Amino acid sequence: MSDFTTIRRTGLPRVVLRWLQSLDLTVSPRHFRRDFSNGYLIAEIFSWYYPEDIKIHSFQNGTSLAAKLSNWSQLGKFFAKRNLKPIRELIDGTIHCKPGAAEIFVQDIYTMLTNRRIKHIQDEEVDFSDRLYQDKLPMVARSTASRAIKTNIKLTEILVEPNINKNRQKVNAIINLHLQRRCLEREQYPERFNIKPTLGARAIRRPSAVSDSTLNLQRDKSWHVSSAASTEIRGKTGVHFKTIQVKQAERLPFDVHLNIGTYVKGL
């Protein structure tokens, strides 16, 4: 099988595939979800770099849940000893065969052991749901809420974590994502869901006599004219301002006004 076909099937960069081939693993990975889920190949990869810490004979290359938990328990102790901090979501996704989890985890191990960065995978958001696959399907073929729960929650997750509250949180998160996708579909294709337009949507919009852009243009012109005039006055050094004092007439006292009014009435 050529490298191009392998890259298309696994989604791994060519440099990571060549790195895996150079390790000369006992088992050649073909189906990444299945082959990396038990942790045996992960242990074999680290044994090439840390042979004194990982003894490959203590790991089981089996598919049972007990073998998976035993292998990953030993790997967890090794990570803690060497102060390696792989992303926990990648480990859980690899154990439970989530879509794309094993591929991303292998690339994370590659950057961890070789100190090389893979831009296109480390800059993307980690999402182990079947959202990308569902987006490619026509709407009539997409999963319902119950089907989405069955697809995105594996049986091994429930067996490993029997806590009802945590499993309920996972179910609620899947349902919320499903509802968000349905709301987006309703907005994009309202005719398919028999959604009638509202009265505001059916109303005819007529442009106003004076548009907002015209008003903003007039405001900008008036502001530029006023600012230019003030700048011109400030720039003239020969302009002098003279203060004019205006003297107002003195007011008569209150009793004088009163006497004048009495005198007029007497007349």
Give the integer Cα–Cα distance in Å for 17 and 62: 24
The H or E element that residue 125 is part of is none
| Length of the chain, in residues | 267
Closest residue by Cα to residue 33 from 128, 127, 149 = 128
In the predicted model, what is the mean pLDDT of the chain? 76
Return the closest-CA partner of residue 174 out of 143, 198, 202: 143
Q: Any idea which residue has 């011109």 for tokens? A: 232
pLDDT digits 0-9 by tens, 203-253? 777 776 555 555 565 566 555 545 544 554 454 555 565 666 666 666 555
- 85 φ, ψ (degrees, to nearest 5): -125, 75
In the chain, % of residues over pLDDT 90: 17
Highest mean pLDDT among 6-10, 113-117, 134-138: 113-117
Say what the pLDDT of residue 71 is: 94
pTM of the complete model beyond 0.85: no
Q: Tokens at residue 19, please?
A: 């790195």
> What's the token pair of residue 101?
């989890």
DSSP state of 38: T
pLDDT in tens, 132-156: 778 788 877 888 888 888 888 887 8
Of the candidates 196, 192, 167, which has an alpha carbon nearest to the alpha carbon of residue 182?
Answer: 192
Alpha carbon distance 194, 186 (integer Å): 9
pLDDT tens column, 152-202? 888 788 888 778 888 888 888 888 888 888 888 888 877 777 777 777 777
Measured CA to CA in angstroms, residue 90 lies from 39, 69, 85, 87 at distances of: 12, 15, 11, 5
How far apart, in whole angstroms, are the C-alpha atoms of residue 185 and residue 207? 31
